[in-house]
Structure 1
Amino acid sequence: MLKRGLFPLGRGSRSLLAAAMIGSLVTLTACQGNKDIDITALDIETEPADVLYNQALANIKAGKMKEASRKFDAIDKQHPYSEYARRAMVMNSFANYRMGRYSESINSARRYISLYPNSEDTAYAYYLIGLSYYRQIPQVTRDQGTARKAIAAFSEIIQRYPESEYVADSEVKLRFARDQLAGKEMQIGRYYQERKEYAAAVNRFRTVVESYPNTRQVEEALARLTEVYFAMGLTQDAQAAAAVLGHNYPDSQWYADSYKLLQTEGLEPRENRGSWITRAGSRLIGGSQS
């Protein structure tokens, strides 16, 4: 059985491989022990599906992902709809992921999901899709389309496979991806604020507070809302934003700065139950966000 550290296989995927790995143990050991045997040089056009599959697994263990992918492709083409073809499809997605061929990995995983929606390895296919998009998330200054796609894949795992072993890591990566989207909103909001386009800035900061309440960007968003509302003369909204900020992040420098800003007009943070900010504040996680 392949060890977990080699690649991110789950219990379902390990069970998928177990029979093939055990049955081929002697053959694989012989191939790996004999330095004169090159498993990449075998004729894949004439090999049976099980032989190709076991050779591909050996290639993976040897770090030869390109050759493994070639053999998985051969199984798919020469032995379509066989059990080995099913296994090869999801493993080919993994091999492409490891090579950084993210589009190929995503396409293979999506095809697997389409053909085998109820397989024990469908959650793993979603996980590979999520990982492939996750690895392509750019800096916050760039378009965050891949972050949205990663969120969709990881959310699918969490919602459809709550008992899956991929849920914990999916939740971690989901938080990061959502933080990226919130960060993009903050970048645009600051752009508008610097140009005194305050209404547009409010819309962006409000999106962060309402749509991404459990991200690290909320703290600054509340402070920026305090500043923008104050600049617009909407002092009650500015006070409400500062109050929510102080309630959730009492030791924050952003709160200290917001408090000082209000004091310049003799004001202080004050809750406003009729404000959207106060309502949104009830959903925040505050300083518990690490």
Structure 2
Amino acid sequence: MTQSLFSRRVTRFALAALVATLAACGTSPKDEELMKGSAEKLYADAKEEMAGGNWAGAIKSLERVEGRAGGTLLAQQSQLDLAYAYWKSGEKAQALSTLDRFIKFNPSSSALDYALYLRGLVNYNDDLGLLGFLSRQSMSERDQQASREAHQSFKQLVEQFPDSKYAADARPRMDFIVNALADYEVHVARYYLTRGAWIAAANRAQAAVTTYPQAPASEEALYIMTQAYDRLGLTQLRDDASRVMKGNFPDSAFLTGKTQAADKPWWQLW
């Protein structure tokens, strides 16, 4: 019985050694070179597909490159190209997931600034499209979560890599996003004001002024605050908001009575 147990142990050891030997043979330098060549060929094919606008074809090739060239600079580059191809093909969630994975596992990559910039671009949208134009819908009238995430990506880029060639383009986009976010708060405040929800109107307008004090929309936000506080009978708050508005916007059309926040959408106020 003892001999049998010993024999089984020897057999298991021999089997494990054989498996290890076969595995080593399976990753010979020659095979690794073939895999490298195959990955580079796939990447070259993917770049051709991208140049021709065939994003679906590029995605298929790039996904295979990442699998075959894992841990190499080529794998990193293919991952970034894959995120770009996903974005251009309309697969925003896939693009963001790929970029988040790159940023998480390559914090010291020389391409990190580009990854942050691309993540900002994926979330950034200054094109309202045909339906937005026909409905006169502003970017500020949409849910702004994507805009906030875009701003965060651009902000991280500018702070970590102030001299990056992508930072110069990120800064004006940040300003645009801040103005859009302020416009959104005012849009909501205006909506509440026109429906007699005075407290909600005052709170959203105050949020716009507090969070985005330098944005142009703060002018209308202060006006909404004065109107809402007046209807609530909060004369001290009304007078405070009015004083701040007169101090910052002495020539405001809202003060002269030439326009009313409740009467027109924001694009017709200027």
TM-score by length of 2: 0.71
Aligned equivalents of 1:87 and 1:103: distance in 2? Answer: 19
The answer for the alignment partner of 1:228 in structure 2 is: 228
The answer for the alignment partner of 1:122 in structure 2 is: 112
User: Per the alignment, in what secondary structure is the counterpart of residue 109 of structure 2?
Assistant: coil
The answer for the alignment partner of 2:21 in structure 1 is: none
Aligned equivalents of 2:160 and 2:256: distance in 1? Answer: 43
Amino acid at match of 1:51: K
Amino acid at match of 1:114: K
Where do 1:193-212 residues align within 5 Å? 193-212=193-212
The answer for the alignment partner of 2:168 in structure 1 is: 168
| Gap runs ≥5 in structure 1 | 1-44, 261-290
The answer for the alignment partner of 2:267 in structure 1 is: none
User: Per the alignment, in what secondary structure is the counterpart of residue 48 of structure 1?
Assistant: helix
Matched, 1:69 2:29: no
Amino acid at match of 1:111: R
Amino acid at match of 2:89: M
Conserved in 2, the CA contact under 8 Å of 1:136 and 1:146?
no
Conserved in 1, the CA contact under 8 Å of 2:36 and 2:69?
no
Matched, 1:133 2:123: yes
Q: Give 1:125 deviation, angstroms.
A: 0.8
Matched, 1:185 2:185: yes
Seen in structure 2, the aligned counterparts of structure 1 residues 144 and 64 have a Cα distance that, compared at 3 Å, is: same
Aligned equivalents of 1:168 and 1:251: distance in 2? Answer: 33
Aligned equivalents of 1:47 and 1:59: distance in 2? Answer: 18
Conserved in 2, the CA contact under 8 Å of 1:105 and 1:128?
no
Q: Give 1:157 deviation, angstroms.
A: 1.1
69, 89, 96: which is aligned to 1:99? 89
TM-score by length of 1: 0.66
Q: Give 1:104 deviation, angstroms.
A: 1.6
Q: Give 1:136 deviation, angstroms.
A: 8.7
Where do 1:1-290 residues align within 5 Å? 48-135=38-125, 139-257=139-257
| Gap runs ≥5 in structure 2 | 1-34, 129-138, 261-270
Aligned length in residues:
217
Conserved in 2, the CA contact under 8 Å of 1:73 and 1:92?
yes
Conserved in 2, the CA contact under 8 Å of 1:212 and 1:218?
yes
Amino acid at match of 1:104: Q
Aligned equivalents of 1:46 and 1:80: distance in 2? Answer: 10
Aligned equivalents of 2:94 and 2:233: distance in 1? Answer: 54
Further displaced range: 232-241 or 143-152: 232-241
After superposition, what is the alpha-carbon deviation per residue over 1:131-182, rounded to whole angstroms, capped at 9, x for unaligned? 1111399844443221222122122112222222222322222233233332
User: Per the alignment, in what secondary structure is the counterpart of residue 113 of structure 1?
Assistant: helix
Amino acid at match of 1:213: P
Q: Give 1:128 deviation, angstroms.
A: 1.2
Amino acid at match of 1:80: G
Amino acid at match of 1:69: I
Aligned equivalents of 2:197 and 2:105: distance in 1? Answer: 50
Judging by fraction of residues, say which structure has more helix.
Answer: 2
Aligned equivalents of 1:250 and 1:165: distance in 2? Answer: 40
Aligned equivalents of 1:221 and 1:120: distance in 2? Answer: 43
CA RMSD of aligned residues (A): 2.8
Aligned equivalents of 1:137 and 1:144: distance in 2? Answer: 14
Aligned equivalents of 1:256 and 1:141: distance in 2? Answer: 26
User: Per the alignment, in what secondary structure is the counterpart of residue 146 of structure 2?
Assistant: helix
Amino acid at match of 1:223: Y
Q: Percent identity?
A: 29
Q: Give 1:241 deviation, angstroms.
A: 2.2
Q: Give 1:75 deviation, angstroms.
A: 0.6
Q: Give 1:224 deviation, angstroms.
A: 1.1
Conserved in 2, the CA contact under 8 Å of 1:137 and 1:146?
no
Aligned equivalents of 1:97 and 1:142: distance in 2? Answer: 20
Conserved in 2, the CA contact under 8 Å of 1:137 and 1:144?
no
Amino acid at match of 2:215: T
Q: Give 1:253 deviation, angstroms.
A: 0.8
Q: Give 1:69 deviation, angstroms.
A: 2.1
